[in-house]
Amino acid sequence: MSYSSLSLRLAQTPADLEAIQRLRFDVFFTEFGAVAQSEMHALGLDSDRFDPYCQHLMVVDEGAGNKVVATTRLMLSDQCPSDLGYIAQAEFDIALLQQFDSGCMEVGRSCVHKDYRDGNAIQLIWQGITKFILDYDIKFLFGCASFHEVEPANIANELAYLHHNHLFEGGQGARSLEYISMDLLPSEKVEPKAAMANLPPLIKAYLQIGGKIADGVALDPEFKTLDILIMVEVAKVPASYQKYFRKMADRISLSSTGGSN
């Protein structure tokens, strides 16, 4: 399915943010069964304390009344309050952050409406991410990606594949706080093709640009997911991908306001 009326925008108003939070609720809570716990959840909105400090990318379908169909949020290091930190730090000790005084960006809360998962919407999201990387001289990109599963044994092949093939150097970049090992199968027992076929699209996209995985997986009981942390040192992204993403970023123009509210 292809949608030629899709466009990428940066959230600028409270109404934009509410539409984004409503989409996130529909995907995370209604579709995938996350556990509603707050007053905002009762209103059908996925909202948390990080939202006011983030930039929010939104894909809208202009042919459907500017319906928000995909989103992700970006926390820039120079906009991250010292007393708040990054959302991934609730699940992971990210030692690699200490190597970067600035130029870090966390990607999170990414989702796409179920009717728009043909790849077009997520491609626009990646154009926006790339635009931020270039405009803000981002050196370290990171974020959690999720499996909609709570039992590691059910995705043993996928986790073991990531552990044996994409673990950050020696597992020293980051480690899950409540450690759950991904080393569930010996390397010779892993089926790489099957693992890649079953990986969520967001994880595949990170791996294609040289993303590396933190040591261990984290259980998120509220969202009923197993989370992995993916880290990208931008300088190590293959030159062919850097050239491609620069070309993608040149196609769009985003105005930034330093927050959504």
Report the pLDDT value the prediction gives residue 2, as an integer from 0 to 100: 42
Please state, in angstroms and rounded to a whole number, the distance separating the CA atoms of residues 238 and 210. Answer: 7
Report the pLDDT value the prediction gives residue 250, as an integer from 0 to 100: 78
pTM, two decimals, is 0.90
Report the pLDDT value the prediction gives residue 169, as an integer from 0 to 100: 85
Q: Tokens in use for 147?
A: 């499996």
Phi, psi of 254 (to 5 degrees): -120, 135
Walk along the chain (261 residues) in steps of 10 and give the mean pLDDT of each run. Answer: 77 97 95 81 90 97 95 96 93 92 94 93 90 93 95 98 92 91 97 96 89 96 94 90 78 56 39
Q: What is the CA radius of gyration of the chain?
A: 18
Please state, in angstroms and rounded to a whole number, the distance separating the CA atoms of residues 261 and 258. Answer: 9
Amino acid at 132: F
**Burial of 157 per CB tally in 10 Å (0-12, 13-18, 19+):** middle
Phi, psi of 55 (to 5 degrees): -90, 140
Please state, in angstroms and rounded to a whole number, the distance separating the CA atoms of residues 175 and 141. Answer: 16
Domain spanning 73-249, CATH class: alpha beta
Report the pLDDT value the prediction gives residue 75, as an integer from 0 to 100: 97
Report the pLDDT value the prediction gives residue 189, as an integer from 0 to 100: 97
Cβ atoms of 74 and 39 within 8 Å: the answer is no
Q: Which residues contact 6 (CB under 8 A, 6 or more apart)?
A: 59, 60, 61, 62, 69, 116, 120, 121, 124
- H or E stretch including 144? strand 140-147
Please state, in angstroms and rounded to a whole number, the distance separating the CA atoms of residues 194 and 217. Answer: 20
Cβ atoms of 158 and 196 within 8 Å: the answer is no
